Structure 1
Amino acid sequence: MDKKPILIFVNPKSSQIKEYTLSFRRIGLALLIVLAAVVFSFKYSVHLIGKLSQNSRISQLEKENAILRAELKKISDRIAELRSNLDLIEEKDDRLRAMLDLPPINEDVRQVGIGGGESFLANSELGSVSFGSELIETLNLLEKLDREIRLEKVSYQKLLTTVERRQDSLQYLPALIPVQNAYLSSGFGNRIHPIRKRRQFHKGVDLATNRGTPVIAPADGYVTFAGTNGGFGKFVQINHKYGFETLYGHLDKIYVRKGQFVKRGDKIGEVGSTGLATSTHLHYEVHYNGKPLNPVNFFLNDMTY
């Protein structure tokens, strides 16, 4: 006969003893129920912990997204401010170009700018972000701003080069009267030659003054001739760069030599009447790219030396 397990229970107050006979089947069932409860409790605990962790992560991500959105808003505002400043720079660029007689930058060129890669619109990874469209728009604006700034830098360099060249060319522009206290005794153009007595084109002007009056260089340049030159008598020629040359005839004395660099206001000789001359005067010519021009048009009263 099989022995069955007996569960004895003693009441501590009444000292009564109770016996319970258990079958192996009931014990197995109880153990199975306990095991199932333990497994269920474990799985539920794991699920609960995972859910709490996930909720915590979602909360953290939401906070991070809020911070990123706020920063993105600040960046967008900053881009708008830079856009406004760039518009002012573009307006000044147009005004400077007008002052320097340069063509304005075409509006289509301004819209495209210089350089730059592909647009961020095609980036599918950014599009999957919760605020991806805002981010893509901001990045595209930033890229466009970068291209326009590079365009303005190139334009500014061109403007600077033009201004520097104009300043430099002004230094070489024959803009002074080469003799002081003189009067125009013969102008530029057709006239009757005072000695040959025939109609002839006068390539310069005659500036009458006292013998020995200093003759000065009207601009910086290099002396290309200094000596006697036929009917011009004692003669000096100066190359002033950028196509300008000046010629001086009938000098009494010459103070420069060929190849010498002279600056505006330097004394190059004295007025005389050497060569074919009827009186004391300076014959003065201004040439541009080999063509004689009326020197009177270059006498600027506000130029000093």
Structure 2
Amino acid sequence: MAKVKYYYDSETLSYRKIESSKGYITKVIVLSTLGGLLLMFIGFIAFSQFLKTPEQLAQERELENLKLNYEVLDKRLDESSHILSQLQERDNNIYRKYFEANPIPEEQRKAGFGGVNRYKYLDGFDNSAMIKSATKKIDILSKQMVVQSKSLDEIVSLAKEKETMLASIPAIMPVKKEESYVSSGFKYRMHPILKIRKFHKGMDFTAPIGTPIYATGNGTVSLARRSPTFGKVVYIDHGFGYRTVYAHMSKIATRRGRKVKRGDLIGYVGNTGRSVAPHLHYEVHKNGRAVNPINFYYGDLTPEEFLAVQIASEKEGQSYD
């Protein structure tokens, strides 16, 4: 039951009942309704910030999932990059050195990723920095994998040639160790004929005339003749940048163009050319440069025998050429 409202009439000094007109009641109802609707609208707007549609919630879950996947991908890229870095180090310092291939420079492995901002198209997103970082890592990793793949292809090719290379590289003494001794090594010493201090580019093995001389590795005889300096001399091209020289022979037992194997007889110790006593002058060349032959006797010397030959080669003994 609605409450009855009164007002005080000062003229009659009494309370009189307030009579509500229909217009007033209608106005109150309309205003109340509008006020209620306004409050409902404001409440809906405010509440809608906390209450989201299923589609919005699904999109937010998908974005969070993508962000999480990007973070996982970024970590996996870092791990893959670390593994590839280790492989690159082994490739340069072990595989390529073992097969005598030049290491791949760091600039070549990481070329093509400086200067131009190639990832500008990824700017403007909420997670642009993360997306650009992952994209750049993928590009660098892909480039490095291509370079490394080509390097491994080269290593495989070299490995297939390894058996041939090992058979070709000089690996034994040119005369039997029990039939000779080292009289001069790879060093500066006084030349017995010219009487000047001169670098000796090989090793001299003193032995009786007629002592057999053997090829120290597989190869092709590139020269077999007499020369004013080396007397009767044989050159063998072993391939892979190696060449050996056998000088001062008394007799040559091979010919130019002949294929020889390690241990084949190619001549006999003599005293021909610029020589003052029977001996074999033996040289090893790698890529056109004379190298110390003592590093190429691992095929038939024990560690103790190698040490004895090394000590003998370093002594200032008699020089014969």
TM-score range, shorter chain: 0.5 to 0.7
- SS, match of residue 199 in structure 1: coil
Contact conserved, 2:207 with 2:278, CA < 8 A, in 1?
Answer: yes
Contact residue 77 and residue 138 of structure 2 kept, 8 A: no
Please list every run of 5 or more consecutive structure 1 residues that lacks an aligned counterpart in the other structure.
Answer: 1-56, 128-132
Residue among 251, 264, 268 paired with 1:271:
268
Partner SS, residue 142 of structure 1: helix
Structure number with greater CO (CA < 8 Å, separation at least 6) is 2
Q: 1:116 to 1:273 in 2, by over 3 A?
A: farther
Q: 3-state SS of the aligned residue for 2:106?
A: coil
CA distance in 1 between counterparts of 2:59 and 2:236 reads 75
Deviations 1:101-159 (A, max 9, x none): 858736xx58947999434433x5xx3xxxxx23x344323311222213422552575
Rounded to whole Å, the distance in 1 between the matches of 2:248 and 2:68 is 78
Sequence identity of aligned pairs in percent? 25
Q: Is residue 2:140 matched to residue 1:148?
A: yes
- Aligned counterpart in structure 1 of residue 175 of structure 2, from 169, 174, 179: 179
Contact 1:115 1:147 in 2 (8 A): no
Q: Give TM-score, length-normalised by structure 2.
A: 0.54
What is the root-mean-square deviation of aligned Cα atoms in Å?
Answer: 4.4
8 Å Cα contact 2:250/2:272 also seen in 1: no
Q: Which moved more, 1:276-285 or 1:168-177?
A: 168-177
Question: In structure 1, how many angstroms separate the alpha carbons of the residues matched to 2:72 and 2:265?
Answer: 64
SS in 2 for 1:245: strand
Question: Which of 295, 299, 302 is the aligned partner of 2:296?
Answer: 299
Question: CA separation of 1:87/1:291 partners in 2, compared to 1, >3 Å: closer, same or farther?
Answer: closer
Shift of 1:65: 4.0
Match in the other structure for 1:86: 81
TM-score for the superposition, normalised by structure 1: 0.57
Separation in structure 1 between the aligned mates of residue 276 and residue 82 of structure 2, nearest angstrom:
65
Cα distance change on mapping 1:149 and 1:220 into 2, 3 Å:
farther
8 Å contact kept, 2:221–2:260? yes
Give the 5 Å matches for 1:226-305.
226-230=224-228, 232-241=230-239, 243-263=241-261, 265-273=262-270, 275-276=272-273, 280-288=278-286, 290-296=288-294, 298-301=295-298
In the other structure, the counterpart of 1:19 is none
Deviation at 1:170, TM superposition (A): 6.7
